Amino acid sequence: MRYPGFRPKAVTLSYDDGTIYDRRLIEIMSGYGVYGTFNLNSGFMSGRDDGYHIYKEDVPKQYLDTGNEVALHGRYHMSLADYPDQDGIADVYEDRLEWERICGRPIRGMAYANGSYSDRVVDYLGKLGVKYSRTTVSTRGFALPKDWLRLPATCHHNDPKLDELTDEFVSLDLSKQYNKQPKLFYLWGHSYEFNNNGNWDVIERFCEKIGGHDDIWYATNGMIYDYVKAYESLDFTLDGGAVFNPTSTDVCFVSDGTEYEVKAGESLRIG
């Protein structure tokens, strides 16, 4: 697989809680063409007089209109693994209903509040229509996830190796390594941490380093999920000589060193 434009690398960010500091974070991200997913608690973003959270009716303008994604974080930021199923289901269900009302679109992504999840939580999330959900696990690696409902990150922005990992990712040259799987840099955190720690320079430096590269696709969590699933949906003939794309997404891939793009709903001969 290759990302759109035959890019071999992708970058996405994932930030939680919907505080007013997201505004500055988005300004920095937008300045470098970087995008991400913001995981929001509808129960805490109710009024303009809060002074800490973004007013929930402003969410479409603040997040969606800037090219970013809105995802769930539980209506009341519950540690789901610590609660009975009926309480956790209600928290996620109500959160999804509210954000879909406000955003006018399906909300399919999530991040686990406090990093709390279990097998039973994962089971009922799937039944609630959640397609991907981020944990607080950091791998310090760039592999694509194998389990989208137990989604790990590359690292948190406070990781002491952030600069090192960023430099390593940027320097990766996969342009001729057709047998290599594409890579993903996934950064997560909370924007209020930059304010509390007085270290906005951390995210500014990250975006400056990682932005503006022709071999990197800058996308939200949902965009990457949808693209990978479209690639996995491709139907190949038994001899590998042709492929059909049953999805609504154009998909790029490499076969025997040759680049192919199979358009949505079309078939393509290979070789």
Q: What is the pLDDT of residues 228-252, one digit of tens each?
A: 999 999 999 999 999 999 999 999 9
Tokens of 173: 């040259």
> Which pLDDT score is estimated for 183?
98
pLDDT for 226? 98
Domain that holds residue 262: 235-271
Q: Residue 251: CB partners within 8 Å, gap ≥ 6?
A: 1, 227, 230, 231, 234, 245, 261, 262
Q: Which helix (H) or strand (E) holds 98?
A: helix 85-103
| Residue 219 and residue 240 in one domain | no
Domains: count for the chain: 2
| Cα–Cα–Cα angle for 208, 111, 205, rounded to 5 degrees | 10
Same-domain pairing of 104 and 72 = yes
How many CB atoms neighbour CB 153 within 10 A? 26
CA distance 33 to 51: 28
Cα four-point dihedral sign 194, 199, 205, 208: positive
Say how far apart CA 60 and CA 37 lie, in whole Å: 13
Share of the chain above pLDDT 90, in %: 94
Give the integer Cα–Cα distance in Å for 157 and 69: 19
pLDDT class of 176 with cuts at 50, 70, 90? confident
Residues 130 and 215 in one domain: yes
CB burial string 232-247: b at 16+ within 10 A, e below: eebeeeeeeeebebeb
Contact between residue 24 and residue 200 where contact means Cβ atoms under 8 Å apart: yes
Per-residue pLDDT at 49? 65
Q: Say which CATH number the domain at 10 has.
A: 3.20.20.370
Question: What distance in Å separates the CA atoms of residue 185 and residue 228, rounded to the nearest whole number?
Answer: 15
pLDDT digits (tens, 9 = 90+) for 84-106: 999 999 999 999 999 999 999 99
**Does one domain contain both 246 and 228?**
no
Stretch 42-47: mean pLDDT: 88
Q: Tell me phi and psi for residue 96, to 5 degrees.
A: -65, -45
Asked if 221 and 256 sit in the same domain, the reply is: no
The two beta strands, 251-255 and 258-262, are antiparallel
Question: In terms of domains, do 176 and 250 share one?
Answer: no
Please report which confidence band the pLDDT of residue 177 belongs to, taking 50, 70 and 90 as the band edges: confident
Same domain, 53 and 166: yes
Distance CA 132, CA 252 (A): 22
Are 81 and 106 in a shared domain?
A: yes
The reply to whether 107 and 180 lie within a common domain is yes
Instruction: Return d(Cα 56, Cα 107) in angstroms, integer.
Output: 15
**Closest of 142, 125, 107 to residue 222, by C-alpha:** 107
Cβ 192 vs Cβ 19: under 8 Å: yes
Phi and psi dihedrals of 37, rounded to 5?
A: -120, 135
Residues 125, 126, 131, 136, CA torsion sign? positive
186 and 169 Cβ atoms separated by less than 8 Å: no
- For residues 67 and 200, membership in a common domain is answered with yes
Report the alpha-carbon distance of residue 233 to residue 133 in Å, rounded.
21
